Amino acid sequence: MSNTKTIKVDYLARVEGEGALFIKIKDNKLEECQLKIFEPPRFFEAFLRGRQFTEAPDIAARICGICPIAYIMSSIHAMEQILGIEVGGQLRELRRLIYCGEWIESHVLHVFMLHAPDFLGYQDAIQLAGDKPELVKMALRLKKAGNEIVRLLGGREIHPINNKVGGFYKVPDKKDFSNLLEELKWARDASIEAVKVANSLPCPDFDQDYEFVSLHHPDEYPFNEGRIISNRGLDIDIKDYENHFEEIHVAHSNALQSVHKNHGNYLVGPLARYNLNYNQLSDLTKQVAVDNGYDRQVINPFQSIVVRSLETVYAFDEAIRIIENYEKPAKASVEYEIQAGVGYGCTEAPRGSLYHRYEIDEQGIIKTAKIVPPTAQNQSRIEEDLSNFIPKFIHLDDDDLTWKCEQAVRNYDPCISCATHFLKLDIQRN
């Protein structure tokens, strides 16, 4: 007698996207696993057409409430490429600094408020706070330090407004950083403890064979600039992204799934960055990695929680380096003249590479816009991981299996992970 059951995980979210996880099991074998995503970037691509190029950063920032800096910076870099300007020196450093702030905010939120409760068997972070209030208070303070960086440079914590094509509207004085610097030094120490906490969490064995794709820069851990590389020999300029990657429309999802042409699916995000850029981490971060047994390739997606924590240490360390060496630049931005052209931007959002392409005319009006968010790039790979993961736990009852799947989906911190709290379990049996 055949026994078919279907597990449907519906989830909705405000800005970052909407999606559902659909799992069909027949006679205790996985028959189908589909991740369905609806993504706002498609709407925004249309919305951007006809707007002035200077509006792109502020509009793109609204695509994601968690990583607006990534959207702002990918669009700004694309526009600057069209205009033929380079933003260097302290302005470039300030851009790295605000990126540190965003990584801290996003990673700390994900590690402690969303992911750690899964590993510890808590329903949510509120239960965790009940049992371990000091740990949660520490996490909230770490995240606030990230908020402060974004507020100081971005003008406000959410939907920052101070970044623009050419640099910033206003740059801080050195003294503006003095209070923040002390807090960041506390936070850097605390984040090292946070790595130990993440590393102590019980983690399932689940090594996978990935093509990792990330930005790579010879001298620095990648935020804003670099070439796109992979562990399988890819090494390209960002303007060639669309020659090597394509988006395929699959019937079950409104989102386009990205694949590496002739290679298949791939993974972007913390694991990819870490494995491809370990040498570019700061000495301190590498030492913390060694102390925790992470001076190695990490191919278990459940260990991404530790890698996010290590990237948080790096972000604090890098922020402190930038602030300690900061000298206020004479000008807050670089001047330019409008010219028509096509430009490309790719930066490392907390959850992976975020690619933008724009075409503008001689008046600076946006003719076309293309945005490929990290979650779309990871979608196919997440499905494959879940297809490998579910059979290991197929004996569990539906509640436990659903819970395991939620935890697995959160490994990738997809924009859609936001609403896995609002699960609707729909089981059909024949």
Partner 1 sequence: MEKSILVIGVGSPYRSDDSVGLSVLKTLRMGPPEQVHLMERSGEGSDIMDVWKKYQHVFLVDAVQSGKAPGTIHRIFANQEKVPTDFFHYSTHAFGVAEAVEMARVLGELPKSLIIYGIEGEQFGIGKDISKHVQISADKVTGMLLKDIQKILTGNPTYA
Residues that bind partner 1 (CB under 8 A): 12-16, 40, 43, 62, 65-66, 109, 113-114, 124-126, 129-130, 133, 136-137, 140, 143-144, 147, 157-159, 417-422
CB of 110 to partner 1, least distance (A): 9
Which of 113, 310 has the CB closer to partner 1? 113
Which of 85, 140 has the CB closer to partner 1? 140
Which of 18, 348 has the CB closer to partner 1? 18
CB of 47 to partner 1, least distance (A): 8
Which of 14, 185 has the CB closer to partner 1? 14
CB of 409 to partner 1, least distance (A): 11
Give which of 76, 64, 22 is closest to 352, Cα–Cα: 64
Which of 124, 324 has the CB closer to partner 1? 124
CB of 417 to partner 1, least distance (A): 7
Which of 8, 216 has the CB closer to partner 1? 8
CB of 9 to partner 1, least distance (A): 13
CB of 150 to partner 1, least distance (A): 10
CB of 16 to partner 1, least distance (A): 7
Which of 29, 421 has the CB closer to partner 1? 421
